[in-house]
Amino acid sequence: MSAVRATIEKGGGAGYHEQAAARGKLFARERIEQLVDAGSFTEDGAFANVLADGLPADGVITGT
């Protein structure tokens, strides 16, 4: 279960991260980390699309 969660939290392959970094962009969870106080955001629905092949999540991050 923790391996699946790590894949979801990574938010895409290394190529996507390299392209985003080259353009000066942050991934969604990186933006959330900068917007909220540490430990104050609880993500829900992280496993919403976990059974779809090649899609680790549903593309929406929600939480409180």
Residue 59 vs residue 61, higher pLDDT: 61
Whether residue 58 lies inside any domain: the answer is no
Whether residue 16 lies inside any domain: the answer is yes
Whether residue 63 lies inside any domain: the answer is no
Distance, in Å, from the CA atom of 20 to the CA atom of 26, rounded to the nearest integer, reads 6
Distance, in Å, from the CA atom of 5 to the CA atom of 22, rounded to the nearest integer, reads 26
What pLDDT was estimated at residue 39?
Answer: 87
Structurally, the chain folds into a number of domains equal to 1
pLDDT tens digits, 6-54: 877 777 778 888 898 899 998 888 898 999 998 898 888 777 766 777 6
Whether residue 62 lies inside any domain: the answer is no
Three-state helix/strand/coil letters over 1-64: CHHHHHHHHHCCCHHHHHHHHHCCCCCHHHHHHHHCCCCCCCEECCCCCCCCCCCCCCCCCEEC
- Range(s) of the domain holding residue 16: 2-53
The model scores a pTM over 0.75: no
Whether residue 59 lies inside any domain: the answer is no
Whether residue 14 lies inside any domain: the answer is yes
Cβ neighbors of 55 (< 8 A, separation 6 or more) are 49
